[in-house]
Structures are given as C-alpha cells and as structure tokens.
A and B are shown apart, each in its own frame.
Chain A
C-alpha cells in the first residue's frame, strides 16, 4: 500500500481514539466538579493538562471554568485536539484513504462526523452533557465495530491498530502523570487510604472503574491502581496491554513485509520491560520519571513508524 495511505489510516484512528479519550476525560472531570465545587477549578485544570492543551487553553481563556473547559475540549475549532477538530480530521483522512476502507467503515466515519457536527453545533448545556458524551463514545464505537467486522486483516488493519494503541497508551500515561501527585502522598505513607473521589476519577478516565472492582478486593490503594493501569495485561487501556497489541501488529507487518525495521526493536524493548518489571520497581524509580520517559519513548516510536513505513516523502 501507499505510504501516504498507511499514514492516513494510522492518523485517522489516532484521531478517533483521541475523541473518545477526550469525551471520557470530560466525563470524569464533570463528575468530580459536581461533587466538589471547592476544588473544581483545580480539577478542570488537570483535565486540560491531561488533554495536552494547557498552553493553548490558558492563552484563550485564562481561568479554568467548567463551561469554558468543556467548550474548548469538545467544540473549539481553534483547539486542534477538540472533539470537533479531531473528528473532522479523522473524516478528512477517511476521504484520503477511501480506497483502503470498506464501504461500512467509510460510512461509519462519515456518519460519525455528520452526527457529531450536529450534536456539537451549539454550546453544550450541563443537562445535555451526558447525552453528548455518550454520542461521542457511541459514534467512535460504531467505526471500530465496522473496522473489526469488515476489514481484511492485512497491513491496512495493522496501521489502524497501531494508531489506536499508540494514542491510547499516550492518553493513559498522561492521565497517570497528571494525577501522580494524588497518588504520591499516600504512596509515601504505607497503609494510608486514598482520597476516594480522586482515584475514582482516574479509573473513570480510562473506563476502568468497574473492572478495578472486579479484579481487586478491599479498599483501593495507589500501588494497585498504578499496577492496574500500567502493568495489567487484561485491562484494554493499560500501557502493557497497548504495547502487547503494538508488538503484535508490528509482528504481523514483519511477517507480511519480511523486514524488521528499527521501530520493531523499540516497541519490543518497551513491551519486554513491562513483562519483567514489578510495580514497586517503577514506584522506586519514581512514577513521574517513569511516565515522562514512557511518553517520550511512545512519541519517538510513532515517529519511527512513520519513517520506517514511508508515510511522508
């Protein structure tokens, strides 16, 4: 396939994943703000930071006020990561790679764009927010469903998945990194319990609130949460899960192309590091240091994949 097409697919699925992640972040932020008006501004600030658009936001709004943050993250076309912006990008990419998509996938992404444009055509009122966020998640699920149900398992599919999991790993790492200060004080005090609302937010941001309860017993504690989000290979948003997938998809590409470019070595090294590393080693090393190292490596991997598979001239 064309390098440009591979790049178009890769980014199309990064954008779709991003729209879903943003919806989830807003959802978690909204919940915490409802219950804690005193620290609401702080919470919204960390939501904006997690979305990676803090500077752009401050330049435009200054204060971290709920309706401004929600509007910036969902609707503002000046914010390249807003849901409206990334959905338009995903759909443009869909047009670009139209010949690599089944009719079902194309129609799903086109309909996603039409629906969300309609839903987000005017500022979202608080009482409509849950329905709007549900629509965002649902539309992106429909595209994913069409992808899984109708696409050939060839390199096109591999690039779609690589984009999805690189974006997802980045998102999970950012959530943890922005919130690590919440985990820290309690980590240093062995046996102390965490602030309930805070850990709930972290888990909700990665749709892991329920699954955490399924796999652990007793009160949530920071060590278990860090383990769950970083190392648990059963959780589809954990870093280890994402890298298992990335490794797999690169493996399929290797079998298909008969070559093993540098990006594979980078991805496998990271994948193996998760297998051999107990959570305590990571915490000893420093959670923030670990996460910022991970985010940088993850980004470098994306760039290396673009180079290895000739996305650009």
Chain B
C-alpha cells in the first residue's frame, strides 16, 4: 500500500515537520505548557479512572484483577471538513448494512442477483434462520454500529470492520472527554470541539423510537441486558443504563409473563418494551438458541416474533460484520444505495478461493491474516512483525482450513503523538465512531473512540493487548 512512502502519515505533522491545520491551536497550547505539569496531569488521569471504577476484567486471569485501559492526554483531532466526509461515508455504509440485513432475512435479492455467493450465507453460523421473515420493530436491524476506520494519508480512510453486533467502547469515548474537560478546562475554551455528551440521550431516543407496536402506555421502558459484573465490559453496561435512566438487568431478572418480557421489581413483574442487549445471539434465548445459556431469557425470541419486544441489535446482525462478507461491502453498498461506496474497503483476499490462497501463501510476510469469525486481535498473523517460525506455524493452519481466513495488506496506519517521558512520540491509531440508527434517521456522534498502540511501531491497538485510548476531537468549524 503506502510502501515506498518516506514515513507514516502523522495526523499532527503530516509527512513533514510542520503542523497540520487541525492541530494549530492545540500545538501552540502544548508548547506553552510546562512539561512537568502535563506529566502530573497524566498521572492524575489514572487516579481519576481508578476512583471512578472505569476498569475492565481480563478474561482468563485467575485473580480477576481489574485493569485500567491506559489513557493518553494528547487528543486526536479531526477537522470539521474531514468529519463531514467521513460521516457521509459511514451513513451510506450503515444504511446499506440495514438494507442488506432486511434483504437477507426476506427476499434475498442480492443472492438471486448473484452478487454474493449463496454458500457464504447458507453455511454461515452468524446467519440465523430463526430471523427469516421476521420484521424487527421500526424496521431497524442494527440500532448501534461501531465502524472501525483507519487512516493512511491526508485523504485516505479505510473501513477495517463493521461492528454490527454489540460494539463496545462508547463509555470510553464519553469518559475520555469528561476526563479531558476535568483536567484541561482552559483548552476547551480556546478550541471549539463538538460535544459528545449527547450520546446517551440520543441512544435512549433512538431505542425508544423503535419500541414495538404493543407496548406500555407512556414512555417506553428500556432495559440494558448485561451478562453480569464479571463481564469485561460491565462498566460500560452500567454506565449506559445509568446515563439513559434505563434498568440494568441480567437474564435472571427477566421472564416471559403474559406474552411480554417482564422484569422482577420490588412490586412484582413489570413489562419492558426495548432491550438493549449486551449478550451474544447464541446466549439470548436458551429455548431458541444455546440451551445451556444462563444469560438470556427463555422464550424471548417468541415474544420478539409476536412483536411485543424490541431487541437491539436484532438477532442475526452478525452476518453483516462477518469478515468473509466484509470483502463484498463495496458491492453491497452499491446494490442497495445505487451509489459508489464513499469509504474504501481494505483489499481483501478470501483464502477460500484457490487463486487468492496461492497469493496469500506466497506473501505471508507482507500480509495480515485474520480468522473469519475472530475478534479482539486474537488468532491473527501480522506478517511483517512475525518471526519465520510464527509464519511457518500459521501457514500450516491456513493450509488446513483456508476457508477460515482472509488476508489483507499491512496498512501503513496513521500516527498521532502520545505523551511519553521524552515528550511527544508518534503511535499508530484507529478510530471507532458510534452510529445510532432509528426510523427517524442515522445519528453519528462527532468523534468516537481512538485506540492507540502504545508500543513504538506496534500496529495492534486492542486494549486486551496493551493498547490505550485517546480523546477524539472533531472541530466545530
């Protein structure tokens, strides 16, 4: 891709030593700051996060230690103009995803038109036959989407992943801003930054707008369904429920009563209208999906089918963010919107295809190879960073089950400076904006979650593997 370019594109300095315009105001503030004060502030941020309990549990660690996601005090800044273009692209893509899901679970025009191979859907675990013919309340499948973007140059943005199931991280977007406002209030009076704090209210509104036709009188009752306090994202579940004024429930708080999903309150069972669920499809309903699940509500899918509850996101949306489907996104966008995709897809080799597999096997040292159903940066090979031994081991796995993998070129991800002991230093970043879909339209919070690889040269930004986060500013211009 950007190989041959002299260096990575840095969002503060571009490819030279100057300062790009979105960073003018911040940079001059930074240069006037006392470095010792900034370091002190960085330490203060950590105390702030700990005291608030903004921690996450790491799966597989015996002592249930709670960790903090490291926070870097240098914001990532996006100009209003850049953002306008990005949000048009995101809106187009999310619109197409919802149309695609509706089509897949109804007439399947896109398969009939031969634009996507039928086998890709038919044999896919993320496709739920139970959803066929079912119309979700409000016609929305993906109420909440987190579109992962990366940047490689001044005008080059790529979509890395469409998180259409239960994207997480929005609480960090909100808390990072809170933390910055708390630590550097003066900065926000000199730089006009678009606010993100409206997200919880917008989330509530957009969920309420999808309430089912048979529902309680008055304001719809919304509940956030969490797997419980040991889940790694529990903080976020509690945070969102609190901010929305919704109930935070677990499976054992709910049961089906008189054809509605109801929660056990101190006054008896009371029906709820909308469930923002943070448990996976498979665990949602032991009667209809995984019978061993203790996290869901027996019979909730039957209530859903009868139109008496809204489930956000709808079951079966995972088919849209499947990595094998990903490579077809440009066709999907064009098929449903009639327009060329505004946001680029990363070129992707589907290892299920013999020609592609041959190419991938010949170029493993240059490619990133991912499992089709994997997530969180696990089970992937980053060719340029891998040893000969690791490549050889991965080659065996790939040859054994080629259909399980896709491969992409290693992108030259943009960098944004972080504050280190030695001052500012560039580190690779990605961006997850959060998108809300309701019958009244699509709302994208300006900014999103910037994840940053804290290790020099590293391309892995996942918090489970040592990544951190930054506040993300979209300038109000």
Tell me if A2 and B229 are in contact (CB < 8 A). Answer: no
Q: Which of A3-41 contact B (CB under 8 A)?
A: 3-4, 6
Given A95-B53, A110-B53, A257-B266; A2-B249 close (CB under 8 Å) = yes
B2-39 vs A: 1/0 string, CB under 8 Å?
00000000000000000000000000000000000000
| Shortest distance from the beta carbon of A118 to any chain B beta carbon, whole Å | 12
Tell me if B238 and A6 are in contact (CB < 8 A). Answer: no
A58-100 vs B: 1/0 string, CB under 8 Å?
0000000000000000000000000000000000100110110
Most B-side CB within 10 Å, residue of A99, A107, A111, A309: A99
CB-contact partner of A3 in B229, B238, B265, under 8 A: B265
The answer, yes or no, to whether B441 is at the interface (CB within 8 Å) is no
Cα A111 to Cα B267 with chains together (Å): 33
The answer, yes or no, to whether B242 is at the interface (CB within 8 Å) is yes
Task: Report how many A-B pairs have Cβ atoms within 8 Å.
Answer: 55
Cα A110 to Cα B55 with chains together (Å): 12
The answer, yes or no, to whether A131 is at the interface (CB within 8 Å) is no
Cα A6 to Cα B247 with chains together (Å): 13
Which residues of the other chain, B, contact A99 by a CB distance below 8 angstroms? 238, 241-242, 246-248
The answer, yes or no, to whether B252 is at the interface (CB within 8 Å) is yes
Which residues of the other chain, A, contact B264 by a CB distance below 8 angstroms? 2-4, 310, 313
The answer, yes or no, to whether B62 is at the interface (CB within 8 Å) is no
Cα A309 to Cα B266 with chains together (Å): 4
The answer, yes or no, to whether B51 is at the interface (CB within 8 Å) is yes
| Shortest distance from the beta carbon of A112 to any chain B beta carbon, whole Å | 11
Which residues of the other chain, B, contact A303 by a CB distance below 8 angstroms? none
Tell me if B266 and A1 are in contact (CB < 8 A). Answer: yes
Q: Which of B230-262 contact A (CB under 8 A)?
A: 234, 238-239, 241-242, 246-250, 252-253
Q: Chain B at the A interface: mostly helix, strand, loop or mixed?
A: mixed
The answer, yes or no, to whether B1 is at the interface (CB within 8 Å) is no
Tell me if B266 and A313 are in contact (CB < 8 A). Answer: no
CB-contact partner of A107 in B52, B238, B246, B252, under 8 A: B52
CB-contact partner of B265 in A2, A96, A110, A313, under 8 A: A2
CB-contact partner of A98 in B248, B265, B267, B268, under 8 A: B248
| Shortest distance from the beta carbon of B270 to any chain A beta carbon, whole Å | 9
Q: Which of A276-313 contact B (CB under 8 A)?
A: 309-310, 313
Which residues of the other chain, A, contact B174 by a CB distance below 8 angstroms? none
Tell me if B238 and A110 are in contact (CB < 8 A). Answer: no
Tell me if A2 and B242 are in contact (CB < 8 A). Answer: no
CB-contact partner of A95 in B234, B253, B266, under 8 A: B234
The answer, yes or no, to whether B263 is at the interface (CB within 8 Å) is yes
CB-contact partner of B51 in A107, A259, A310, under 8 A: A107
Cα A110 to Cα B265 with chains together (Å): 26
The answer, yes or no, to whether A155 is at the interface (CB within 8 Å) is yes
Cα A111 to Cα B234 with chains together (Å): 19
Which residues of the other chain, B, contact A95 by a CB distance below 8 angstroms? 53, 229, 234, 238
| Shortest distance from the beta carbon of A312 to any chain B beta carbon, whole Å | 9
Which residues of the other chain, B, contact A1 by a CB distance below 8 angstroms? 265-266
Task: For A8, give the chain B residue with the smallest CB separation.
Answer: B229
The answer, yes or no, to whether B81 is at the interface (CB within 8 Å) is no
B49-69 vs A: 1/0 string, CB under 8 Å?
011110000000000000000
The answer, yes or no, to whether A114 is at the interface (CB within 8 Å) is yes
- Hey, which bits of chain B sit against chain A, CB under 8 A? 50-53, 229, 234, 238-239, 241-242, 246-250, 252-253, 263-268
Q: A2-B264, A309-B266 are in contact. List 12 more A-B contacts (CB 8 A).
A: A2-B249, A4-B253, A4-B264, A6-B266, A95-B229, A98-B248, A99-B238, A99-B242, A107-B52, A110-B51, A114-B51, A257-B266
A-B residue pairs in contact (CB < 8 Å), sample of 21 = A2-B253, A2-B264, A2-B265, A4-B250, A4-B252, A4-B264, A92-B229, A95-B53, A95-B238, A98-B239, A98-B242, A98-B248, A99-B241, A99-B247, A107-B52, A110-B51, A110-B53, A155-B266, A257-B266, A259-B267, A310-B268
Q: What are the 7 A-B residue pairs with the smallest beta carbon separation, nearest first?
A: A98-B238, A309-B266, A99-B242, A3-B264, A99-B248, A110-B53, A99-B241
